[in-house]
Amino acid sequence: MMWGVFYTPTCSDGLKNQDEEDADCGGPCATCELRTLSYPSVSRKLFFMDPNGNATDVAIQIKNPNSSWGLKSFDYRVDFADSTGKILPGSLYGRSFLMPGATQWIMEAARFSSAELNDVEFKITTSTIDWNKLRPYVSENEFVIRDKQYKLLAPPASGYAELTGVIENKSSFSVNEFEVQGVLYDKEKRIIGFGKTKVLSLRPGQVKEFRIFWPRQFTNRNPVANFDVFANINFLADESFLQRYKQ
What does the DSSP assignment read for 64-94?
A: ---SSEEEEEEEEEEEEE-TT-PEEEEEEEE
Report pTM.
Answer: 0.86
Q: How many beta carbons lie within 10 A of that of residue 211, not counting itself? A: 11
d(CA 48, CA 51): 9
Distance CA 64, CA 40 (A): 5
**Is the pLDDT score of 229 beyond 80?**
yes
What pLDDT was estimated at residue 109? Answer: 86
Q: What is the pLDDT of residue 139?
A: 56
Q: Which residues contact 244 (CB under 8 A, 6 or more apart)?
A: 137, 140
Domain boundaries, the chain: 35-133, 138-245
Q: Please report the pLDDT score of residue 3 as a whole number.
A: 60
Q: Tell me what percent of the residues of the chain surpass a pLDDT of 70.
A: 95
> 235 with 196: CB under 8 angstroms?
no
Q: pLDDT of 139-189, one tens digit each?
A: 556 899 999 999 999 887 788 999 999 999 998 888 989 999 999 999 999
3-state secondary structure of 158: coil
CA end-to-end span of the chain: 52
CA 153 and chain centroid, separation: 29
Q: Do domains 35-133 and 138-245 have the same CATH topology?
A: yes
Asked if the peptide bond before residue 155 counts as cis, ω within 30 degrees of 0, the response is no
Angle made by CA atoms 88, 89, 94, in degrees to the nearest 5: 105
For residue 124, the model assigns a pLDDT of 97
pLDDT at 12 over 90: no
Alpha-helical segments (H) within the chain: 239-245
What's the Cα-to-Cα distance from 213 to each of 19, 146, 194, 219, rounded to whole Å? 56, 17, 10, 15
pLDDT digits (tens, 9 = 90+) for 20-57: 667 777 888 878 888 899 999 999 999 988 777 678 89
pLDDT at 86 over 70: yes
Distance of alpha carbon 88 from alpha carbon 116, whole angstroms: 8
Give domain 35-133's CATH number out of 3.40.1160.10, 2.30.130.40, 2.60.40.3230, 3.90.1530.30.
2.60.40.3230
CATH number belonging to the domain at 138-245, selected among 3.30.70, 3.40.50, 2.30.31, 2.60.40:
2.60.40
User: Which region among 12-26, 36-50, 209-223 has the lowest average model confidence (pLDDT)?
Assistant: 12-26
Q: How many CB atoms lie within 10 A of CB 128?
A: 12
Distance from C-alpha of 221 to C-alpha of 218, rounded to nearest angstrom:
6
Alpha-carbon span 176 to 174, nearest angstrom: 7
Q: Are the CB atoms for 45 and 51 separated by under 8 Å? A: no
Could you report the per-residue pLDDT of 90-143, keeping only the tens digit for each? Answer: 899 999 999 999 999 999 988 777 778 889 999 999 999 999 999 887 555 689
Give the separation between CA 56 and CA 47, rounded to whole angstroms: 7
